[in-house]
């Protein structure tokens, strides 16, 4: 992964980044995709323009694993940290146009904060598809929204371009967005590195005690290391819950307009 900051006039102040994967959209689908690609050691950058639509919800009550529900803003905050811990880069920036690079081996993504480049691009932004128009992507119109057709694994008709979540015409639910984003992330990993097996952390001896090599993408850890990581996970979650202050939902723009009138 490389990033350069040029000095000088306005045109040279653009921030440049080059890596394996650019994910356009920092909602549940986009972050779930980035989690898998980053953990597979693919240099990944998430471009996020504003907050996830999930933060407009009052409470997230149908996401498995939270018996009494969870505050969606807390959920998004923890997901963002998880992705960052996996090694993903993040930038508050809006994608303006995605084009093929001159050699045809990747993409250039023009943003309002410079131009970034990647071998693969994942479109996971629900509210806007204009940035895809330079690629002549087939879009499906449905009322005021547009969808990107994909195959069962999240690939579009443009080689190296994927779509995840609601943009790929998935159900408008957080768990579905997380699942589809994860599926697309695994697809990207398999397309980039077919030898990558599973993103598993297993007890020591799981493979080696059966005279098998630990597959690429897996890790065997000792009982001592397992306990250390489990305690770290418990402590981090406890800190979140102890320090979290309830926040009101992010209002829909039209709601703000109604209140101000």
Same domain, 177 and 239: no
Same domain, 112 and 225: no
Q: What's residue 70's pLDDT?
A: 95
Same domain, 160 and 208: no
Q: Which residues, 6 or more positions from 114, have their beta carbon under 8 angstroms from its beta carbon?
A: 14, 15, 16, 17, 93
Same domain, 136 and 17: yes
Three-class secondary structure of residue 147 per DSSP = strand
**Structural contact between residues 56 and 156, judged by C-beta atoms closer than 8 angstroms:** no
DSSP string computed for 197-252: ---EEEETTTTGGGT-PPPTTEEEE-HHHHHHHHHHHHHHHHHHHHH----PPPPP
Same domain, 179 and 207: no
Residue 112 structural domain: 2-192
**Residues 96-118: tens digit of each pLDDT:** 999 999 888 899 999 999 999 99
Nearest to 120 by CA among 44, 7, 202: 44
**3 band by pLDDT with thresholds 50, 70 and 90:** low
Same domain, 81 and 54: yes
CATH number reported for the structural domain that contains residue 89 in this entry: 3.50.50.60
**Residues 127-156: tens digit of each pLDDT:** 789 999 999 898 998 877 889 999 999 999
Nearest to 188 by CA among 43, 2, 89: 43
How far CA 215 is from CA of 40, 88, 109, 224, 228, in Å, comes to 13, 23, 34, 22, 23
List the structure tokens of 35: 């989690």
- Residue 82 region by backbone torsions, left for phi larger than 0, else alpha for psi between -120 and 50, else beta: alpha
Would the pLDDT of 180 be above 80?
yes
List the structure tokens of 227: 């306990």
Same domain, 7 and 74: yes
Same domain, 182 and 219: no
List the structure tokens of 81: 């940290």
Rounded CA gap, 101 and 120, in Å? 11
Mark which of 164, 192, 220 sits at the end of a domain: 192
Same domain, 83 and 183: yes
Q: DSSP secondary-structure letter at 94? A: -
Same domain, 226 and 150: no
Mark which of 146, 166, 192 sits at the end of a domain: 192
pTM: 0.90
Same domain, 178 and 213: no
Q: DSSP secondary-structure letter at 183? A: H
- Stretch (H or E) spanning 187: helix 174-192
Query: Considering only 3-12, 46-55, 78-87, which range has the smallest mean pLDDT?
Result: 3-12
Mark which of 151, 170, 192 sits at the end of a domain: 192
Number of domains in the chain: 2
Rounded CA gap, 257 and 12, in Å? 37
Same domain, 187 and 249: no
**9 band by pLDDT with thresholds 50, 70 and 90:** very low
């Amino acid at each position: 992964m490389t990033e350069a900051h040029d000095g000088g006039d306005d045109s040279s102040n653009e921030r440049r980044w080059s890596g394996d994967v650019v994910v356009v959209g920092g909602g549940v689908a986009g972050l779930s995709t980035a989690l898998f690609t980053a953990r597979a050691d693919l240099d990944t950058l998430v471009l996020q323009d504003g907050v996830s639509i999930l933060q407009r919800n009052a409470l997230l009550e149908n996401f498995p694993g939270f018996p009494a529900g969870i505050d969606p803003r807390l959920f998004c905050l923890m997901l963002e940290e998880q992705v960052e811990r996996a090694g993903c880069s993040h930038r508050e920036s809006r994608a303006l146009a995605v084009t093929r690079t001159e050699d045809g081996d990747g993409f250039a993504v023009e943003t309002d904060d410079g131009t970034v480049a990647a071998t693969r691009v994942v479109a996971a932004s629900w509210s806007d598809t204009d940035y895809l128009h330079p690629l002549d992507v087939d879009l499906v119109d449905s009322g005021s929204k547009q969808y990107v057709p994909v195959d069962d694994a999240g690939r579009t008709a443009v080689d190296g371009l994927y779509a995840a979540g609601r943009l790929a015409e998935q159900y408008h639910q957080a768990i579905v967005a997380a699942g589809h984003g994860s599926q697309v992330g695994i697809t990207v990993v398999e397309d980039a590195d077919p030898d990558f097996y599973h993103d598993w952390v297993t007890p020591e001896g799981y493979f080696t005690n059966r005279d098998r090599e630990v597959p690429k993408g897996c890790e065997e850890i000792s009982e001592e290391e397992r306990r250390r990581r489990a305690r770290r996970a418990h402590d981090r979650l406890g800190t979140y819950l102890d320090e979290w202050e309830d926040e009101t939902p992010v209002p829909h723009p039209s709601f703000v307009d109604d209140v101000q009138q």
